Amino acid sequence: MDAFYASCELLRYPDLVGLPVVIGGGRRHQPELQADGTRRYARLAGYTGRGVITTSTYAARALGVHSGMGLMKAAAKAPDAILLPVDFDLYRACSRRFKAAVAELAPVIEDRGIDEIYIELTNLPGAQEAVGHDPLGGVRALALEIKNNVKRATGLSCSIGVTPNKLLSKIASDLDKPDGLTVLSMDELPTRIWPLPARRINGIGPKAAAKLAGLGLETIGQLAQCERSWLIERFGLHYGAWLHDAAHGRDERPLVTESEPVSMSRETTFERDLHAVRDKPQLSAIFTQLCEQVAQDLQRKGYVGRTVGIKLRFDDFKTLTRDLTLDAPTADFATIRHAAGLCLKRADLSRRLRLLGVRVAALNRADAPPMPSRRSMKAAAGGKAKAPAGWRAAAPTTVLRAAEPGLFDEPPAKPEVQD
């Protein structure tokens, strides 16, 4: 999807179309409705805090303002850019509509996140047919139909890359953004792919790119000219061989149409550092909201989890995590809030906090058969606990007691949970 979060906001605020807009503000940056029916928008000018840009419109990107940039730095580049708060409920709703629109025409889909998917077109009717003198005309028409269906369902544009494999499709989908359609055959690698920077290959990060540059390899084409053995010698057996294959457009990975999440989490970075005692009411509300959001995510997607954890980042940028494993999997808000509060008791909160997160892991489907208790597994195995096939082993059971309150506030009352 093209500039997805920003595009969703432009649907809601069409008067901002064509203007530089940045997504990443807090609640205080919510547009204000004026008496005359117009809206008053927050601007980047004068922004103070350490928020970062989640995404920006293409008009803002033209001013050098892009995702991941600090908002204060962005304010120096584009002080008149409009600042909007993040609204993930809106983005998730648009995401569901976009994926449903694609599935109507191409049901074999690998979900890669809120705004990106891989689609298998090979066996769809007409995909292998030529149209006139264009041997790829059939698949081009099919991709265009998908784009149009997404536009009708969401009002948003997307960019599609159609190639023989996932690696090349990832690159091709970015070549003609926004609202692009790039159909690429292997014969076109030398002209369309090899002139691109090596970083355009998904899997070559900043460190690898810097090492490649140090070796005089700036483009994908220069990388493709290297001997496989030479790359393996310098980058190791696995990564060196992969670099050689990637530069030549080779990728045998199939679409993964079903995958189970490992965990679900929510976290937030504060605009100013907060103290566990002096800012207790504010932290309490944020902490409880994070737990509630994680519980809602689990329930909406049909999962339960056994391990509840917290993530803390302090004013010195040190990060701390604490986990606690329950006796039974849950998606219940009160249970998650209680367990997360107990995790807080094992953390030193003398320093100010800049980030707070809540996580539930060791997930299973909510409709899966209940996991036998460790005691029953131990008895059935003749003294040695052994999980049945298909279940991951969990950490040792932790006993929770209602008498142990959280630090930010008193969690919802819970009965004693025993093994």
Residues carrying an active site annotation: 116
Q: In whole angstroms, give the CA distance from residue 29 to residue 210.
A: 38
Helix then strand then coil, % of the chain, to nearest 5: 35, 20, 45
- Please choose, from the candidates 273, 257, 269, the residue with its C-alpha nearest in 3D space to the C-alpha of residue 356: 269
DSSP-derived letter for residue 254 is P
DSSP reduced 3-state for 311: strand
Q: In whole angstroms, give the CA distance from residue 246 to residue 201.
A: 7
- In this structure, are residues 323 and 307 in contact, taking their beta carbons and an 8 Å threshold? yes
Q: In whole angstroms, give the CA distance from residue 358 to residue 12.
A: 30
Q: Which residues contact 113 (CB under 8 A, 6 or more apart)?
A: none
- Please choose, from the candidates 196, 195, 208, the residue with its C-alpha nearest in 3D space to the C-alpha of residue 242: 208
DSSP 231-242: HHHHH-HHHHHH
- In this structure, are residues 360 and 337 in contact, taking their beta carbons and an 8 Å threshold? no
Both tokens of 7, joined, read: 């595009």
- In this structure, are residues 86 and 25 in contact, taking their beta carbons and an 8 Å threshold? yes
Both tokens of 351, joined, read: 């320093």
Which parts of 202-255 fold into alpha helices (H)? Answer: 206-214, 220-224, 228-235, 237-247
Q: In whole angstroms, give the CA distance from residue 74 to residue 62.
A: 12
Peptide bond preceding 254 in cis form (omega within 30 of 0): no
DSSP-derived letter for residue 29 is G
DSSP reduced 3-state for 306: strand
- In this structure, are residues 339 and 400 in contact, taking their beta carbons and an 8 Å threshold? yes
Q: How far is CA 342 from CA 67, 275, 309, in A?
A: 35, 18, 10
